[in-house]
Amino acid sequence: MTIRIGILGYGNLGRGIECAVKQNPDMELAAVFTRRAPESVKILTPGVPVYHVDDAISKKEEIDVLILCGGSATDLPVQTPEYAKYFNVVDSFDTHARIPEHFANVDASAKESGKVAMISVGWDPGMFSLNRLYASAILPEGKDYTFWGKGVSQGHSDAIRRVEGVKDGKQYTIPVESALDAVRSGSNPELTTRQKHIRECFVVAEEGADLAKIEQEIKTMPNYFADYDTTVNFISEEELKRDHSGIPHGGFVIRSGKTGWNSEHQHIVEYSLKLDSNPEFTASVITAYARAAYRMQKEGQCGCKTVFDVAPAYLSSNSAEDLRAHLL
């Protein structure tokens, strides 16, 4: 029996889920739900219905896991607790500071309905969190570091676009190579925000705009750019489209720790991602965790779960015997 997946919200992430489901023979896409007029939404998979989001709950018998592809600011805090009343759900809630509150809300819903609701699935939170946890449990005497990039930050790109005189723009977060090297050396450096990442902006200015003023405004923008070494490059609209239309990302989680009776031995554990498409990779992680949600609920579990609560074997379509024989 295949796992029937529903997608709620058909943007970059939703489309990524659709692509990931295609790669997993034990799954099928059952339906897409959208806030737009359903007939206006063209999806990639032939024969799969697109419904209005208002019809989602009425389709609950046709969906094993509903994947919520909305945003963390306003969509998911409402949607995840709501849909966990009716479905096993997975979301990619990524406002780190609000995870405890989101967990509590979702857990209450999912405990009542007997469903499994996985929150904050993706790569950070997600795979990076897992690597922080594994490495710190193994090497309690140590320090971990997370670096992001090189990759496009949507939030920072949006911030650039709000500057007066800016027509369009893209921002790359780039880890500082010398900081990575210092961490890998095991010296456990204390690194400031500025020492860890640089920010590179590609900006299309409106005709006649004051470029110096734009550059100054970006570089001094609090929270977003002021604490970083930021470079601003003005380019044409054509160049932006040609060279900067991808959504790459990635990063590094590195833990350096000591063992031995006198802490005489040093160890470096490093996990890194280099992603051509941030939303498609995130979607691929979510899809694997949708399999886990389905299986865990079948086994009688319920409530809110994070990647920390999921035994790795649940993620794979292979049997436990097969995993032990071939991957262990």
Q: Is 325 in the site for a copy of itself (CB under 8 A)?
A: yes
164-173: burial string, b at 16+ Cβ within 10 Å, e else: eebebbbbbb
Which one of 36, 167, 241, 265 is in contact with a copy of itself (CB under 8 A)? 265
Q: Shortest CA distance to 216 belongs to which of 197, 235, 203, 198?
A: 203
Place of tokens 């990647």: 307
Q: Is 180 in the site for a copy of itself (CB under 8 A)?
A: no
Nearer to a copy of itself, 34 or 306 (CB): 306
Token code pair at residue 160: 């650039």
Q: How far is the CB of 73 from a copy of itself (least distance, A)?
A: 18
Output the CA torsion sign for 79, 281, 126, 309.
positive
Place of tokens 């479905």: 87
For residue 202, what are the β-bridge partners?
170, 233
Q: How far is the CB of 1 from a copy of itself (least distance, A)?
A: 19
Q: Is 306 in the site for a copy of itself (CB under 8 A)?
A: yes
Residue 54, CA distances (Å) to 37, 44, 47, 75, 93 in order: 11, 22, 21, 14, 22
Amino acid found at 265: H
131-160 residues in contact with a copy of itself (CB under 8 A) are: 131-134, 136-141
For residue 197, what are the β-bridge partners?
175
Amino acid found at 91: D
For residue 250, what are the β-bridge partners?
274
Q: Is 317 in the site for a copy of itself (CB under 8 A)?
A: yes
13-52 residues in contact with a copy of itself (CB under 8 A) are: 16, 18-20, 22-24, 44
Nearer to a copy of itself, 239 or 322 (CB): 322
Q: Is 273 in the site for a copy of itself (CB under 8 A)?
A: yes
Nearer to a copy of itself, 206 or 309 (CB): 309
Q: Which helix (H) or strand (E) holds 271?
A: strand 265-275
Nearer to a copy of itself, 123 or 172 (CB): 123
Q: Is 103 in the site for a copy of itself (CB under 8 A)?
A: yes
CA Rg value for the chain? 22
Nearer to a copy of itself, 13 or 221 (CB): 13
Which one of 36, 242, 274, 298 is in contact with a copy of itself (CB under 8 A)? 274
Q: Is 328 in the site for a copy of itself (CB under 8 A)?
A: yes
Residues binding a copy of itself (CB under 8 A): 16, 18-20, 22-24, 44, 96, 99-100, 103, 120, 125, 127, 129-134, 136-141, 184, 259-261, 265-277, 280-281, 283-285, 288, 291, 306-313, 315-317, 320-321, 323-325, 327-328
